[in-house]
Chains A and B, each alone.
Chain A
Amino acid sequence: NAGVTQTPKFRILKIGQSMTLQCTQDMNHNYMYWYRQDPGMGLKLIYYSVGAGITDKGEVPNGYNVSRSTTEDFPLRLELAAPSQTSVYFCASSYSTAGGEDTQYFGPGTRLTVL
Protein backbone atom coordinates (compact mmCIF):
# COMPACT_ATOMS: atom_id res chain seq x y z
CA ASN A 1 0.00 0.00 0.00
CA ALA A 2 1.19 3.50 -0.83
CA GLY A 3 -0.82 4.91 2.09
CA VAL A 4 -1.60 8.62 1.69
CA THR A 5 0.00 10.37 -1.27
CA GLN A 6 0.07 14.10 -1.97
CA THR A 7 1.03 16.10 -5.05
CA PRO A 8 2.82 18.36 -5.65
CA LYS A 9 5.57 18.31 -3.01
CA PHE A 10 6.47 21.96 -3.54
CA ARG A 11 4.74 24.88 -5.24
CA ILE A 12 5.25 28.61 -5.54
CA LEU A 13 2.20 30.72 -6.39
CA LYS A 14 1.73 34.37 -7.13
CA ILE A 15 -0.90 36.32 -5.21
CA GLY A 16 -4.33 35.77 -6.75
CA GLN A 17 -3.46 32.53 -8.53
CA SER A 18 -5.40 29.36 -7.88
CA MET A 19 -4.35 25.75 -7.53
CA THR A 20 -5.49 22.33 -6.36
CA LEU A 21 -3.57 20.18 -3.92
CA GLN A 22 -4.17 16.52 -4.60
CA CYS A 23 -4.56 13.79 -1.97
CA THR A 24 -5.19 10.09 -2.52
CA GLN A 25 -5.36 7.20 -0.07
CA ASP A 26 -5.48 3.50 -0.91
CA MET A 27 -6.49 2.16 2.52
CA ASN A 28 -10.26 2.41 1.92
CA HIS A 29 -10.57 4.89 4.77
CA ASN A 30 -13.86 6.67 5.30
CA TYR A 31 -12.47 9.80 6.93
CA MET A 32 -10.09 12.24 5.28
CA TYR A 33 -8.64 15.52 6.54
CA TRP A 34 -6.66 18.55 5.39
CA TYR A 35 -4.36 20.34 7.82
CA ARG A 36 -1.98 23.25 7.54
CA GLN A 37 1.16 23.67 9.59
CA ASP A 38 2.73 27.09 9.95
CA PRO A 39 6.37 27.42 11.11
CA GLY A 40 6.79 26.58 14.79
CA MET A 41 3.11 25.75 15.19
CA GLY A 42 0.98 22.67 15.50
CA LEU A 43 -1.32 21.42 12.74
CA LYS A 44 -4.69 23.11 12.27
CA LEU A 45 -7.64 21.44 10.56
CA ILE A 46 -8.92 23.11 7.38
CA TYR A 47 -11.62 20.69 6.16
CA TYR A 48 -12.59 17.12 6.74
CA SER A 49 -14.79 14.49 5.10
CA VAL A 50 -16.61 11.54 6.67
CA GLY A 51 -17.25 9.83 3.33
CA ALA A 52 -17.77 10.37 -0.38
CA GLY A 53 -20.02 13.35 -0.98
CA ILE A 54 -19.79 14.68 2.59
CA THR A 55 -17.45 17.47 3.67
CA ASP A 56 -17.38 19.97 6.51
CA LYS A 57 -15.32 22.88 7.78
CA GLY A 58 -12.56 22.60 10.34
CA GLU A 59 -10.90 25.36 12.34
CA VAL A 60 -9.41 27.44 9.50
CA PRO A 61 -11.52 26.93 6.30
CA ASN A 62 -11.48 30.48 4.90
CA GLY A 63 -9.86 30.71 1.46
CA TYR A 64 -10.17 26.97 0.74
CA ASN A 65 -12.63 24.56 -0.82
CA VAL A 66 -12.79 20.78 -0.96
CA SER A 67 -14.71 18.03 -2.68
CA ARG A 68 -14.98 14.28 -2.10
CA SER A 69 -16.38 12.51 -5.16
CA THR A 70 -14.68 9.18 -4.39
CA THR A 71 -13.50 7.38 -1.27
CA GLU A 72 -9.88 7.63 -2.41
CA ASP A 73 -9.51 11.29 -3.38
CA PHE A 74 -9.86 14.50 -1.37
CA PRO A 75 -8.49 17.53 -3.29
CA LEU A 76 -8.02 20.93 -1.64
CA ARG A 77 -8.63 24.02 -3.76
CA LEU A 78 -7.13 27.48 -3.22
CA GLU A 79 -9.07 30.01 -5.31
CA LEU A 80 -7.26 33.32 -4.74
CA ALA A 81 -3.88 32.64 -3.17
CA ALA A 82 -2.74 35.04 -0.46
CA PRO A 83 0.62 35.27 1.39
CA SER A 84 -1.18 34.14 4.57
CA GLN A 85 -1.68 30.77 2.89
CA THR A 86 2.05 30.11 2.78
CA SER A 87 2.31 26.91 4.80
CA VAL A 88 2.87 23.17 4.69
CA TYR A 89 -0.32 21.27 3.91
CA PHE A 90 -0.92 17.74 5.15
CA CYS A 91 -3.62 15.34 4.10
CA ALA A 92 -4.60 12.51 6.45
CA SER A 93 -7.05 9.64 6.54
CA SER A 94 -8.54 7.28 9.09
CA TYR A 95 -10.90 4.31 8.92
CA SER A 96 -13.30 5.54 11.54
CA THR A 97 -13.34 7.68 14.59
CA ALA A 98 -15.76 5.63 16.65
CA GLY A 99 -14.66 5.53 20.25
CA GLY A 100 -11.52 7.49 19.50
CA GLU A 101 -9.54 4.34 18.87
CA ASP A 102 -8.40 4.99 15.35
CA THR A 103 -5.25 6.84 14.41
CA GLN A 104 -4.86 9.14 11.43
CA TYR A 105 -2.34 8.36 8.68
CA PHE A 106 -0.58 11.33 7.16
CA GLY A 107 0.78 12.11 3.72
CA PRO A 108 4.25 13.66 3.21
CA GLY A 109 2.93 17.19 2.83
CA THR A 110 2.91 19.95 0.22
CA ARG A 111 5.06 23.01 0.88
CA LEU A 112 3.30 26.05 -0.60
CA THR A 113 4.75 29.54 -0.89
CA VAL A 114 2.64 32.49 -2.03
CA LEU A 115 4.59 35.55 -3.22
Chain B
Amino acid sequence: KQEVTQIPAALSVPEGENLVLNCSFTDSAIYNLQWFRQDPGKGLTSLLLIQSSQREQTSGRLNASLDKSSGRSTLYIAASQPGDSATYLCAVSFVSGGYNKLIFGAGTRLAVHP
Protein backbone atom coordinates (compact mmCIF):
# COMPACT_ATOMS: atom_id res chain seq x y z
CA LYS B 1 0.00 0.00 0.00
CA GLN B 2 1.37 3.36 -1.03
CA GLU B 3 2.05 5.70 1.88
CA VAL B 4 3.43 9.22 1.74
CA THR B 5 5.21 10.81 4.70
CA GLN B 6 6.29 14.42 5.05
CA ILE B 7 8.90 15.70 7.46
CA PRO B 8 8.85 18.02 9.32
CA ALA B 9 5.16 18.47 10.15
CA ALA B 10 5.75 22.15 10.93
CA LEU B 11 8.57 24.60 10.37
CA SER B 12 9.12 28.20 11.48
CA VAL B 13 12.00 30.17 9.98
CA PRO B 14 13.12 33.80 9.71
CA GLU B 15 12.77 35.55 6.40
CA GLY B 16 15.65 34.99 4.00
CA GLU B 17 16.53 31.44 5.01
CA ASN B 18 16.90 28.63 2.50
CA LEU B 19 14.89 25.62 3.54
CA VAL B 20 14.19 22.01 2.59
CA LEU B 21 10.95 20.10 2.91
CA ASN B 22 11.08 16.31 2.73
CA CYS B 23 8.70 13.75 1.29
CA SER B 24 9.08 9.97 1.24
CA PHE B 25 6.90 7.30 -0.37
CA THR B 26 6.83 3.52 0.03
CA ASP B 27 6.13 2.29 -3.54
CA SER B 28 8.48 3.49 -6.27
CA ALA B 29 6.06 2.54 -9.11
CA ILE B 30 4.77 6.08 -9.58
CA TYR B 31 3.90 8.14 -12.65
CA ASN B 32 4.82 11.46 -11.14
CA LEU B 33 5.19 13.40 -7.93
CA GLN B 34 3.67 16.79 -7.27
CA TRP B 35 4.19 19.48 -4.70
CA PHE B 36 1.10 21.55 -3.82
CA ARG B 37 0.64 24.69 -1.79
CA GLN B 38 -2.41 25.06 0.43
CA ASP B 39 -3.39 28.42 1.91
CA PRO B 40 -5.95 28.64 4.77
CA GLY B 41 -9.50 28.60 3.46
CA LYS B 42 -8.36 27.97 -0.09
CA GLY B 43 -7.84 25.02 -2.35
CA LEU B 44 -4.59 23.42 -3.42
CA THR B 45 -2.35 24.95 -6.04
CA SER B 46 0.11 22.79 -7.95
CA LEU B 47 3.66 24.17 -7.63
CA LEU B 48 5.82 21.59 -9.37
CA LEU B 49 5.20 18.27 -11.12
CA ILE B 50 8.10 15.86 -11.65
CA GLN B 51 7.60 12.98 -14.06
CA SER B 52 8.96 9.61 -12.96
CA SER B 53 11.68 9.84 -15.62
CA GLN B 54 12.87 13.23 -14.38
CA ARG B 55 15.20 14.08 -11.50
CA GLU B 56 14.14 17.64 -10.75
CA GLN B 57 11.99 20.61 -11.67
CA THR B 58 12.49 24.30 -10.99
CA SER B 59 10.15 27.25 -10.82
CA GLY B 60 11.51 30.56 -9.62
CA ARG B 61 12.81 30.12 -6.07
CA LEU B 62 11.44 26.57 -5.86
CA ASN B 63 13.34 23.44 -6.80
CA ALA B 64 11.97 19.93 -6.38
CA SER B 65 14.03 16.77 -6.74
CA LEU B 66 12.94 13.17 -7.12
CA ASP B 67 14.86 9.99 -6.30
CA LYS B 68 12.40 7.28 -7.28
CA SER B 69 14.61 4.36 -6.34
CA SER B 70 14.94 5.53 -2.75
CA GLY B 71 11.36 6.84 -2.55
CA ARG B 72 12.30 10.41 -1.71
CA SER B 73 11.62 13.93 -2.88
CA THR B 74 12.70 17.29 -1.53
CA LEU B 75 11.31 20.76 -2.08
CA TYR B 76 13.93 23.45 -1.76
CA ILE B 77 12.79 27.03 -1.18
CA ALA B 78 15.45 29.68 -1.64
CA ALA B 79 15.47 33.03 0.17
CA SER B 80 12.17 32.40 1.95
CA GLN B 81 9.64 35.24 2.27
CA PRO B 82 6.63 35.77 4.57
CA GLY B 83 4.41 35.19 1.53
CA ASP B 84 5.72 31.61 1.40
CA SER B 85 3.86 30.84 4.63
CA ALA B 86 1.42 28.03 3.82
CA THR B 87 1.05 24.26 4.04
CA TYR B 88 3.01 22.31 1.45
CA LEU B 89 1.64 18.96 0.38
CA CYS B 90 3.45 16.22 -1.50
CA ALA B 91 1.44 13.76 -3.62
CA VAL B 92 2.46 10.76 -5.70
CA SER B 93 0.52 9.62 -8.73
CA PHE B 94 0.00 6.12 -10.06
CA VAL B 95 -2.62 4.34 -12.18
CA SER B 96 -5.24 2.41 -10.27
CA GLY B 97 -8.59 1.22 -11.59
CA GLY B 98 -8.46 3.35 -14.74
CA TYR B 99 -7.60 6.68 -13.27
CA ASN B 100 -4.58 8.56 -12.08
CA LYS B 101 -4.70 8.11 -8.31
CA LEU B 102 -3.10 10.71 -6.06
CA ILE B 103 -1.86 9.76 -2.60
CA PHE B 104 -1.16 12.76 -0.39
CA GLY B 105 1.13 13.29 2.54
CA ALA B 106 -0.16 15.13 5.61
CA GLY B 107 1.81 18.25 4.69
CA THR B 108 4.41 20.56 6.18
CA ARG B 109 3.07 23.76 7.73
CA LEU B 110 5.57 26.54 7.02
CA ALA B 111 5.69 29.89 8.78
CA VAL B 112 8.20 32.51 7.57
CA HIS B 113 8.44 35.46 9.94
CA PRO B 114 9.88 38.88 9.12
Contact = CB atoms under 8 A, between A and B. Distances in A.
Interface of A: 4, 31, 40-45, 48, 50, 56, 90, 92, 94, 97, 99-109
- Which label, helix, strand, loop or mixed, suits the secondary structure of the B interface? strand
Contacts, number: 65
11 contacts: A31-B100, A40-B106, A43-B102, A50-B98, A94-B100, A97-B95, A100-B51, A101-B32, A102-B100, A106-B43, A109-B42
B89 interface: yes
Contacts of A43: 44, 89, 91, 102, 104
A108 B42 contact: yes
A31 B99 contact: yes
A38 B37 CA distance: 17
Nearest to A42: B104
B43 A109 contact: yes
Contacts of A104: 46, 102
Given A43-B104, A101-B32, A108-B41, A56 B46 contact: no
B63 interface: no
B49 A48 contact: no
Nearest to A98: B100
A56 B32 CA distance: 22
Given A90-B44, A106-B44, A108-B43, A97 B104 contact: no
Contacts of B46: 103-105
Contacts of A101: 32, 49, 51
A42 B107 contact: yes
Nearest to A103: B46
Contacts of B42: 108-109
B31 interface: yes
Contacts of A100: 31-32, 51-52, 93-95, 100
A109 B104 CA distance: 16
B89 A42 contact: yes
A41 B106 contact: yes
Contacts of B55: none
B43 A4 contact: yes
B106 A42 contact: yes
| Closest A-B pairs by Cβ, 8 of them | A100-B31, A97-B100, A42-B104, A106-B43, A106-B44, A103-B46, A43-B104, A108-B43
